[in-house]
Amino acid sequence: MIEVRDLTVRFGGKTVFEHSAFTLPESGIVLLRGASGIGKTTLLRVLSGLLKPETGSVTGLQGRKVSFAFQEPRLLEWMSALQNVALVSDPKTAESLLNRLGLEDELSEKAGVLSGGQKQRVSLARAFAFSNDVVLLDEPFSGLDEENKRRAAELIRTAKLAVVVTHDADDAALFQPEANIIL
């Protein structure tokens, strides 16, 4: 079990979390749903260790490998889709994941020329190519049409533990009823 205890995070004069507590399961899909600005991305950043809270602790992630697909893809624009994913794995795994996400024709395309939805899928493939125990996904369906959302959801279901941020009820419905929803 992953526990967040006594979490306080402030940015300037804005309090995002104040002495909050969350418990996440060991496995499955956790959806963080809610309006913009309530702290979904902030919680992912705390879970990943990218943001140190003012107070509080996270237990249950020690010794576990965590990967993160950010809201914006953060690809190396001068590298191909395949090269971006192979940075964290081997080319065979990278190609398999990209194919699974419908990018078989874009393997050798430079990331800088891909559409927003294609970049999003490359980022998702990279998060899954990294050998992980926990995958954190910030708005993974951004820029995707229905078919590609379905493909992405199928991949996300393969994770040991996926923590998925979304504000869209339709995106959350892709995981009903198996997902835990918080926030």
CATH label of the domain that carries residue 30: 3.40.50.300
Nearest alpha carbon to residue 125 among 162, 84, 164: 84
- Phi/psi at 132 (5° precision): -135, 160
Torsion of CA 23, 132, 120, 139, to 10 degrees: 0
Q: Which helix (H) or strand (E) holds 131?
A: none
In a domain, 70, yes or no: yes
Short-list 39, 33, 32, 31, CA closest to 14: 39
Q: SS3 of 83, please?
A: helix
Phi-psi domain of 20 (left: phi exceeds 0; alpha: psi -120 through 50; beta: other) = beta
Residue 149 lies in a domain: yes
pLDDT at residue 36 in the model: 83
**Number of domains comprising the chain:** 1
What is the per-residue pLDDT for 118?
97
Query: Tell me, what's the pLDDT at 183?
Result: 63
Q: Is residue 15 part of a domain?
A: no
One digit per residue, the tens of pLDDT, for the chain of length 183 reads 899 999 999 998 899 999 999 899 989 999 998 888 889 999 999 999 999 999 999 999 999 999 999 999 999 999 999 999 999 999 999 999 999 999 999 999 999 999 999 999 999 999 999 988 999 999 999 999 999 999 999 999 999 999 999 888 888 888 876 667 766
Q: In this structure, is residue 76 part of a structural domain?
A: yes
